[in-house]
Structure 1
Amino acid sequence: MPNPSLDTSRIRAISIDLDDTLWPIWPTITRAESVLLDWLTHHAPATAALFSDTEALRAIRNQMASLRPDLKGDLSALRRESIRLALTQAGDEPVLAEPAFDLFFAERQRVELFDDAHDTLAFLSARYPVVAVSNGNADVHRIGIGHYFRHSISASDFGIAKPDVRIFHAAASAADVQPHEVLHVGDDATLDAQGALNAGMQAVWINSANHPWPHGGVQPHATVGSLTALCQLLS
């Protein structure tokens, strides 16, 4: 089906994804895992020896995701319990999971925003109420961008993750508008664009890698290659 045209006159609020939309997430996670591993070397050496690289830490996180599917939408709890599992398997004190996670979480907030992220958020927030909608556990206030947002909704706190329409509808309620008055912006074709479309919103897909649209039927109202291009679209 043809790409529907974006109707800017309908937009009364913006909802926007965080990870990989405003900053690249994997460099951040890789660094946080390295900091965690260094901490374990000093405080839980048996665990550090058993899980001696970030790939091993990621593997036990994936194991925990299989063991505890109920934690799928709460990445903080998933990471904390995966650390606890690693400590237990190595024979270290499981109670160390709390300070270990706190260290990891603090490092996870040290993101490097895309060059045009601040300008984009300033542009959007000057025109609309902006609501962050994320399946991740980034804290916009700890990152230092909280002043751009009317509200921030994470799957960890809300209990429901994208692409479920309920988290998108919660974003509309947080902005005090109806779903059809919201433009959702995000990098993930399924979680962001398709989810927003299913929720009755307009959607802009940020597709910097120029991937083909993976779903049949209605496409996003617009596809752009960058945040700067988004601002140009809305100017």
Structure 2
Amino acid sequence: MKASGIKALLLDLDDTLFDDSHATTQAFAAFIAPHAARFAESETELLRRWRACVDRHWRRFESGELTIEQQRHERLRDFLGLPQLAEEEAAQLFQPYMDAYRRLTRIIVSNGGAEQQRDKLAHLGIAHHFRHVVTVDEAGVAKPDQRMFLHALALENLVPAACLMVGDDPARDIAPARKLGMAAYQVSHGRHAIVFEQLSQKLQTA
């Protein structure tokens, strides 16, 4: 396929640009804490069952059977085994999950220019998902220099052990993050934001 033939770029957000799996795990831990005593399963087993409920009712949302809010409440009823749970009570029980999911700090760490990277996020409509955009302009260094990562952590007074770095480049993203003591997840080519950068450059020079 020729780059000149590309007119639009479609990108996934959850688990591609945004680590939804990690956010879900953290949110579930906050949600299950008040209810853990009522279950005999381990937290791992409970999380597996929760994900099955999410998948089941998300498909109902995708088919148009449920609204986004209704599918949240339906997965809750399913998981707790309380099919008659009222909407208001379901919303209250689900709130700790939503609060924890939204609390997860998301920071872009990029070697691209600040204006360019912010424009990309704005054009994709996902800028609101990220609290900070750290680039060479702000940090004064580029990845893999660990000072870029430390600059990002300092913005929220975070310690490396409490952070997960998601990136595609083993040398610039993964290795320096791990040396600092961060968890790191390498996204394979074809499934990450670097596609946007590569195709944008090709289109600009086509």
* Larger relative contact order (CA 8 Å, sep ≥ 6): 1
Structure with the higher fraction of residues in helix conformation: 2
Greater per-residue strand proportion: 1
